[in-house]
Amino acid sequence: MHEINLHDEGVLHEPGNFELAFFPLTITSLITGSQLRKVAGWRIHGWYSMITGLLTIIPPLANLAPQIPFSNPSQAVQFGGLFERILLVIAFAWYVILAIHMLTTWEKPAAPRR
C-alpha cells in the first residue's frame, strides 16, 4: 500500500495540482463577468473578467494535454515558469482591479439625523 506523504517537496508541482487551484478562479471570473456585463457602470469590468477567465484557462488546459509541448516541465524549462508567473499576475490582478472599482464607487451611508 502506498502512503501519501504530505511533506514531500514539489507537491504543488505534481500534475493536476496547479490546474485544480486555478479552475475555480477561472470559472468564477467567467460567471462574474457574464453577470457584470448586464450592470451599468460595470460592463467594462464584465468584459475584463471574461477575458481574464479565458486567459487563465488556457495554461492549465495546456498542462493537462499531453500532446502540447509545454505540458512537460522538462521540455519547457526555459519558459514554463515564466508563463506560470504571468498567469499568476493576470489572475490576482483581477481581484485587485475589481476591488479598486468597488471601493471607488462605494457610497458612504448617510449620517444619522439628530
Q: How many residues does the chain have?
A: 114
What are the two backbone dihedrals, phi and then psi, of residue 68, each rounded to the nearest 5 degrees? -80, 135
DSSP state of 15: T
Task: Check pLDDT > 90 for residue 113.
Answer: no
- Closest by CA to 87, choosing from 41, 17, 28, 18, is 18
What are the two backbone dihedrals, phi and then psi, of residue 112, each rounded to the nearest 5 degrees? -65, 145
Residue-wise pLDDT tens digits, 55-73? 888 776 766 665 555 555 5
> Is the model's pTM score more than 0.85?
no
Helix 43-64 / helix 17-36 crossing angle, nearest 10 deg: 160
